Structure 1
Amino acid sequence: MRLRIVATLAFLIAFLPTPALAWWEYGHETIATIAADNVKPQTRRAIAALLRHSGELDTPSCPARTIEQASVWADCIKALKDRFSYAYSWHYQNVGICKPFDVKAACPDGNCVSAQIDRNARLLKDRTLPVRERVMALAFLVHFVGDIHQPLHAADDGDLGGNRQKADYGIVANDRLNLHTIWDGYLSERAISAPPSLIRVYSAEERAAMGGGATDDWSRENWEISRDMAYATARGGDPCTAPRDARGKLSEAQIAALVPVVRLQVQRGGLRLARMLDEALGG
């Protein structure tokens, strides 16, 4: 019976489409909903007012009428190719896990996720700009705060943020699985789905504890999690001395231990986004 279950799971994953969305939709939408539930009432009204103009983005195949839709807009528009190809490198920053932390070296001309969070926060706050620019800034900001809290968007080991690090996920072994995909999708969906729900109104104490810091702080935090949790777990030890070309593996016990790590990053992402939205739109 167990062999039949393993075979079925392996078959299903083998024929799943390759994930194209960071954190898939679930992670981004959850972070956006946490933020929406924890902003000031005037911020919530300002967000709704801006998103009523989302049609001005002229991306009918990628709607942004709600904050949840806006949270995945920046991934959706990748399919529009030349119109938005300039934004491709804004979703991540390849800060080497086996070198001293240096986000500026990984962010030439501001083309990385942390710099674009700061840039779009400034654009969103500037009420002299055309509304279309501010709607786009809102969508980018919501998405990029989500991206930086997926640790493998904040770090790298010469493998495109774990995309070239093959790894097994529990009992599932498949050549299409890699470390980035596991953290983007399978692990994050398990973590977010675990009770209790992450979507709620948080206390002032919780917001203060989890919602602080600036983008440099978040960059270092997620770089460290990527090095010490994501790569170290998959490689079974120090990720900088373990063989890089060996196939990684996450056991069921390791997956269970990583679930709280992912849940905390989703909570932090949502509450930090709420704070940034309040600063830009809360009056």
Structure 2
Amino acid sequence: MHRYLSLLALAGALFAGDALAWSAEGHRIVARIAEAGLTPAARAEVDRLLAAEPDPTLAGISTWADELRDTDPVVAKRTAKWHYINFDGRCGFEPPKDCPGNNCVVTQANLMFGVLANRDKDDASRTAALKWVVHLIGDLHQPMHASMRDDKGGNDYQVNLDGEGSNMHRIWDGTIIERRALGAEAYATELLLQPLPDDPTLASDRPTLEWALESCRLVESGDLYPAEGTHVIDEAFLDAQLPLAERRLREAGYRLAMMLNYALARPKNVP
């Protein structure tokens, strides 16, 4: 893992549609789980970098990248493809094919991590990078944002729930978790009671890609969609998806904490 993270610091060279990845609540849940796992040194650096923010917490900035649509449409348009990756019919990564121009969530998560971890960068750049890392690690774990299907991350797969139209991307963004009617803080507190088992991806030289491939394989299994040819879903379908959605939130939160601890509080003699 250390080898991979040090490589990320040097990574400067290396269409899921218009829906967001996780609802605002989902991103805040991931961020609150990560906040609980920060070391004191990493937390102090987060506090310093976010001191000028209206809500100077990871949860407070977790939706910043989506809010650019309203606050800075030009930047939002330029970075729209950073939130997802389209694997072309298979769960395998060929950068020129799957991430042209480095415009995908896997590469941008790596590049932003490199900026955040670089202590020679100015605070404004590192703060923006922190906002991106918090958001993009959440995005990586929303299965519809790393899909091998040709339905634009579920946006083109229309469904009917309780007599109302929706699509599979929107169902995974928020419908599954929001129906529990818990606030982000309460939800994160509940999920923190369920620690993750050993995580083999942390030994990888490329964990962000591993996390995207995890999402892709979940989509590839077909279990995230209703039965083939079916477009009417019900509460039972949502109940069946809930454990996986909550697991992905937990994984995203714990993994984000690990990345931030390394980027913000690693010993100075570690490259």
TM band (smaller chain): 0.7 to 0.9
Question: Quick one: which of 150, 169, 172 aligns to 1:183?
Answer: 172
Q: C-alpha displacement at 1:22, in angstroms?
A: 2.5
CA gap of 1:145–1:139, structure 2 versus 1, over 3 A, is same
CA distance in 1 between partners of 2:47 and 2:23 (Å): 24
CA distance in 2 between partners of 1:23 and 1:160 (Å): 15
1:72 aligned onto 2:63: yes
Which position in structure 1 is the counterpart of 2:212?
219
The 3-state SS of whatever aligns with 1:152 is helix
CA distance in 2 between partners of 1:150 and 1:274 (Å): 17
Counterpart contact for 2:29–2:188, Cα < 8 Å: no
Q: Which moved more, 1:42-51 or 1:101-110?
A: 101-110
CA gap of 1:278–1:103, structure 2 versus 1, over 3 A, is farther
CA distance in 2 between partners of 1:45 and 1:272 (Å): 19
Structure with higher Rg: it is 1
Q: C-alpha displacement at 1:85, in angstroms?
A: 2.4
Which position in structure 1 is the counterpart of 2:156?
164
Q: C-alpha displacement at 1:274, in angstroms?
A: 0.3
Give the aligned length.
241
Which position in structure 1 is the counterpart of 2:10?
none
TM-score, normalised via structure 2 length: 0.80
- Code of the residue aligned with 1:227 in structure 2: it is E
CA distance in 2 between partners of 1:211 and 1:271 (Å): 12
Equivalence map 1:54-133=2 (5 Å):
54=53, 65-79=56-70, 80-96=72-88, 98-102=89-93, 104=95, 105-133=97-125
RMSD over aligned CA atoms reads 2.6
CA distance in 2 between partners of 1:100 and 1:120 (Å): 24
CA distance in 2 between partners of 1:100 and 1:274 (Å): 26
Q: Which runs of 5+ in 2 are unaligned?
A: 1-17, 267-271
The 3-state SS of whatever aligns with 2:66 is helix
1:248 aligned onto 2:231: yes
Counterpart contact for 1:38–1:201, Cα < 8 Å: no
Which position in structure 1 is the counterpart of 2:4?
none
Q: C-alpha displacement at 1:201, in angstroms?
A: 7.0
Question: Could you say which structure has the greater relative contact order, defined with CA pairs below 8 angstroms and 6 or more residues apart?
Answer: 2
Which position in structure 1 is the counterpart of 2:141?
149
Summarize deviations over 1:57-91 as a string: whole Å, max 9, x none: xxxxxx56321121100000122211442211100
Q: C-alpha displacement at 1:157, in angstroms?
A: 2.1
TM-score, normalised via structure 1 length: 0.77
- Code of the residue aligned with 1:221 in structure 2: it is E
Q: C-alpha displacement at 1:226, in angstroms?
A: 1.8
- Code of the residue aligned with 2:90 in structure 1: it is K
CA distance in 2 between partners of 1:106 and 1:146 (Å): 19
Summarize deviations over 1:195-251 as a string: whole Å, max 9, x none: 794453776xx37438735011101100011222455x32x14xxxxxxxx552333
Q: C-alpha displacement at 1:174, in angstroms?
A: 2.1
Q: Which runs of 5+ in 1 are unaligned?
A: 1-18, 55-62, 238-245
Q: C-alpha displacement at 1:102, in angstroms?
A: 2.9
Which position in structure 2 is the counterpart of 1:38?
37
The 3-state SS of whatever aligns with 2:172 is helix
Summarize deviations over 1:166-211 as a string: whole Å, max 9, x none: 0123xx1323x001001001013246849794453776xx374387
1:47 aligned onto 2:39: no
Which position in structure 2 is the counterpart of 1:258?
241
- Code of the residue aligned with 1:181 in structure 2: it is R
Counterpart contact for 2:84–2:145, Cα < 8 Å: yes
The 3-state SS of whatever aligns with 2:63 is helix
Question: Quick one: which of 128, 136, 152 aligns to 1:136?
Answer: 128
